[in-house]
Structure 1
Amino acid sequence: MFDFDREIDRSGTMSLKWDKYKEQDVLPMWVADTDFVSPPAVIEALTERVAHGVFGYSRPSPRLIELIVARMKERYGWQIEAQWLVFLPGVVPGLNLACKAWSQHGRGIITPKPVYYPFLQAPGFNDRPLLTVPMVEQDARWVLDIAELERQAPSADLLLLCNPHNPGGTIFTREELEAIDAIAERHNLVICSDEIHCDLLLDQGARHIPYGALSPAAAERSVVMMAPSKTFNIAGLCCSFAVVANPRLRLKLQQAMRGISADVNLLGYVAAEAAYEGGDAWLAAQLDYLRGNLALIEAAVARWPGVTLARNQATYLAWIDVAGLTLEDPIAFFEQAGVGLSPGAQFGDAQFVRLNFGCTRARLTEALARMERAIMARLK
C-alpha cells in the first residue's frame, strides 16, 4: 500500500539534509528527517488547505485537540485534559522555554550525556549552569546513571529528559522512570520530558510510558513534549505540543512564551490533525520498514571489527560506537568514504557516530557498503 522503496529526489528543494553535500558523492545520513513521502492523508489535507488560498494566523482546531487527548488515552492509557495542552513551534524551543520558565538563576539544569545537542545548549542559552549525568550501557541498552543523578539533583531545579533517548534509542521502562521520579520528588525537580520519538518504537516488546502517565504526582511535577513531526516526516511544518497537568507550571510556560515564541503555523496544525486522524496505517508500515533497515545495520556492524551497536529500541537513528577503529576524525573518515553522518562529539561523545536510517533500503545498503569498504581497508 505504501512504497517506502520509492526514491524521492530532494535536490533543489532547499533541504537542509541534502544541501549539506550538494554536488558531492556523499550520501546524507545525518539530520533527523526521513526521505519518505508523508502519509497520503497529510498530503491531501495540505493540498486542500493550500487551495483555499488564505494563510493568516491560526489556532488548533477542536478536532486536533480531541485527537491528541484520544491518542494519549488509546496508546498510553493516559487521561489528559484539553486545557493541559500548550502548542509550540517545536520541541527545541520548548526545551529553552523550560529553562526560562522552571529554573532560577544560579541553579543548575540537568541533562543526560550524550544527548541530542540542544539539551546541552539550552541551559547556557538561558544563563543556567549545565549539569550532566552520563548515559551508561547496561544489558546492551543506554540508561541514565541514577547514582549520579541523585548526586547532582540538589543543585538543580530542572531535569531535561529524552524518552525515547536520542541518541541510542532507549525506551525507558516503568522501573527506570520511577527511579528518576523518586529523585525528582526528593529534590523538588521539574521534569521536562522530550518524547518526540514516542511513536517510533522498533522493539515490539517494549512500551512507551509518557512521564506524566507514571502517577498523578509525576504528572504534577512534569511537562511532556511531543509532536507528529518525526513520526510522519513533517518536521519542517513546525507543530509540537506540551502536556502540562500542573496549572502553575502551565502558567509559567505561557508567561515565558510571551513575545518570544511564535505561534504554530497554519499548515503545521493542518498536517498534525491529518496525521493523527488518518496516518496510523502508514505509521505501522513505516515501522516495519525501519525494522528491516535496522536489521541490515545490525548485520553490518556485526561484521565490522572495532565497531559496536547497542540495542536500538526506538527512533530511526543508530548510535554506533567506532572507538575500536581509533579514528582521529570519524566524520571526515566516513565522508571520504561517501557517507555523511552526525558527529558523536556534537552529542557529547566523540567516539560515536549517528546514522539516520530513515531512507530507502537501497540507499542504506549502499551507505553500509561504502562504510564497510572504508573500515576493512583501514584494518588491512
Structure 2
Amino acid sequence: MHSSSFNPLFDQAIDRNQSNSIKWKKYQGQDILPMWVADSDFKVPSAITDALQHHVEHGVFGYGQAPDSLSALIVERMAQRYDWQIEPEWIVYLPGLVCGLNLAVRSVTDDDQGVLCPTPIYPPFRSSAKLAKRPLTTLPVTLSDEKRWLMALEDTRVAPNSRLLLFCNPLNPGGTVYRRNELEAVADFAQRHDLVVCSDEIHCDLILDPSCHHIPFASLNDDAAQRSITLIAPSKTFNIAGLGASMAIIPNPALRRAFLHAKAGIVPDVNVLAYTAAEAAYADGQAWLDQQLAYLRRNKQRLEAEINALPYLTLHPIEGTYLAWIDASALPVSSPFKFFEQAGVGVSPGADFGDSHFVRLNFACRYELLEEALRRIDIAVKRLR
C-alpha cells in the first residue's frame, strides 16, 4: 500500500486481543485472521470517546433515561438523510437490535400465528421465530438479472395465519440496497396478506454504492408506516455495538403498546454510557463516517476484484454493509467455511444464514489486513487446481 494513501484513522493497527473482543478471542493463539462477526476494527470517532470520558469523570452511573436531545437528533437524522418524518414518541430504546427482532415476533404474533422471513438471512431472524415457537415460512433470496440479491415474493404461498414479515434492508448477507419499486412490492405483499413488517435497517448508514440511497420501509406511505416496526442503531455505523444502543421506531400506537408490553420486565433499559455514545455519534460523527465510507469503498473494490479474479469463487456487487457474501459453491471441498479457516481466514459459515455453499467475510478492517487475507485465499484456491 502506498504511504500517500495511508489514513491514520483506519490504517492504524489496534490490538484487540486483550479487549475481550468476541471477534478476536475466537482465534486467539491461532494464525487465523478474524473476519467474521459484524463489528469493525476501527477506533470510534474522537467525539464518542470524549463524551464517554466526560461521563466517566462525572463518576456516577445510576439509572438513566433516554435524553430528549438524542430523540431530537434521531428525528432530525431521519428527516434529513432519509426524508422520513417521525415523532419522538415513536422511538423505543433497546439495549440491542436482536432483542428488537424477538420482541417484534412476541408482540405481533400469537402462538399459532406465523412468521415470514427471507433466507439466507442474518441468523437471529430465524431464531427469533424458533425461540418463540412460532411457525416459520422462508422466502428465498435469489439473484436477479442485475446480479442483486432480492427476496422472492411472487411465488410465495402465505399461510392464512401468517402475521409478521421480518425484512432486512440493506440485506445481511448480500448487501442489497432495496430500490423504491422493490420496497413498494414488499409493501403491496404485506398489505395483501395483512402482515406487520419488522424492518431491520441497522446498516442504513453504510451505503457503499454511490448510486444507491437508503429508503426506510416505513417512509413509503401511511399504510407501510402503520404496519411497520423499524430497527436502527448507531452500532454498526460507528463501531459501538458493545455498548448496546438501538432503537425501534413504531408509528402505530397499538403496535407500540404491544411491543412495550412484551419488553416490560424482561428487556433491561439502555445503559447510561450507551446513550452518551449514541448521542455523540449522531451529533458529531459525520466527518468520521464520511471517511469510513471512503475507506470501506476502497476495501470493497479490492475484495470484489480479487475474489472474482480467482477460480471457484464469485462475489456479486456489494451495495451496502461491510459484509461480503461469497459464493463458494464451485469450490471442490466439502465445507467452504473450513476451507477458508484452514487458509487462515476466519469467516462466518454460510450454513448459519441458510446456505452452506457461501461464506460471509467482514471487510471492515485495515487495508493491510484485508490484503493479507486475500493473499492467503489466493494461495489456498490456487493449490486446488
Length, aligned pairs only: 378
Q: Residue in 2 aligned with 1:170?
A: 176
1:2 Cα deviation after fit: 5.3
Amino acid at match of 2:154: A
Q: Residue in 2 aligned with 1:147?
A: 154
Q: Residue in 1 aligned with 2:4?
A: none
Question: Of 274, 286, 291, which residue of structure 2 is paired with 1:268?
Answer: 274
Amino acid at match of 1:92: V
Question: Of 209, 222, 228, which residue of structure 2 is paired with 1:222?
Answer: 228
* CA deviation string 1:15-52 (max 9, x = no partner): 10000001111000000000000011101000110111
Contact in 1 for aligned 2:304/2:316 (Cα 8 Å):
no
1-side partners of 2:188 and 2:163: how far apart?
A: 15
1:364 aligns with 2:370: yes
1:288 Cα deviation after fit: 0.3
Which deviates further from its counterpart, 13-22 or 326-335?
A: 326-335
Question: Of 321, 335, 340, which residue of structure 2 is paired with 1:315?
Answer: 321
The root-mean-square deviation of aligned C-alpha atoms, in Å, is 0.9
1:329 aligns with 2:335: yes
Question: Of 344, 352, 355, which residue of structure 1 is paired with 2:350?
Answer: 344
2-side partners of 1:311 and 1:254: how far apart?
A: 39
Q: Residue in 1 aligned with 2:106?
A: 100
TM-score (norm 2): 0.97
Contact in 2 for aligned 1:2/1:282 (Cα 8 Å):
no
1:303 Cα deviation after fit: 1.4
1-side partners of 2:223 and 2:230: how far apart?
A: 14
Q: Residue in 1 aligned with 2:186?
A: 180
TM-score (norm 1): 0.98
1:128 aligns with 2:134: yes
Q: Residue in 2 aligned with 1:54?
A: 60
- For 1:187-266, list aligned pairs within 5 A: 187-266=193-272
1:201 Cα deviation after fit: 0.2
SS in structure 1 of the partner of residue 330 of structure 2: helix
1:155 Cα deviation after fit: 3.7
SS in structure 2 of the partner of residue 136 of structure 1: strand
Amino acid at match of 1:143: L
1-side partners of 2:289 and 2:147: how far apart?
A: 27
SS in structure 1 of the partner of residue 150 of structure 2: strand
Q: Residue in 1 aligned with 2:292?
A: 286
2-side partners of 1:302 and 1:156: how far apart?
A: 40
Unaligned ranges ≥5, structure 2: 1-6
Q: Residue in 2 aligned with 1:65?
A: 71
1:125 Cα deviation after fit: 0.3
Contact in 2 for aligned 1:153/1:183 (Cα 8 Å):
no
Name the structure with the higher helix share: 1
Question: Of 18, 21, 42, which residue of structure 2 is paired with 1:15?
Answer: 21
* CA deviation string 1:112-157 (max 9, x = no partner): 00000000111010010111000000111000101134x2263410
Contact in 1 for aligned 2:173/2:323 (Cα 8 Å):
yes
Q: Residue in 2 aligned with 1:305?
A: 311
Unaligned ranges ≥5, structure 1: none
Contact in 2 for aligned 1:153/1:187 (Cα 8 Å):
no
1-side partners of 2:160 and 2:39: how far apart?
A: 37
Contact in 2 for aligned 1:2/1:285 (Cα 8 Å):
no
2-side partners of 1:311 and 1:154: how far apart?
A: 36
1-side partners of 2:185 and 2:332: how far apart?
A: 36
1-side partners of 2:376 and 2:313: how far apart?
A: 15
Amino acid at match of 1:324: A
State, as a whole percentage, how many aligned pairs show the same letter.
51
Contact in 1 for aligned 2:112/2:161 (Cα 8 Å):
no
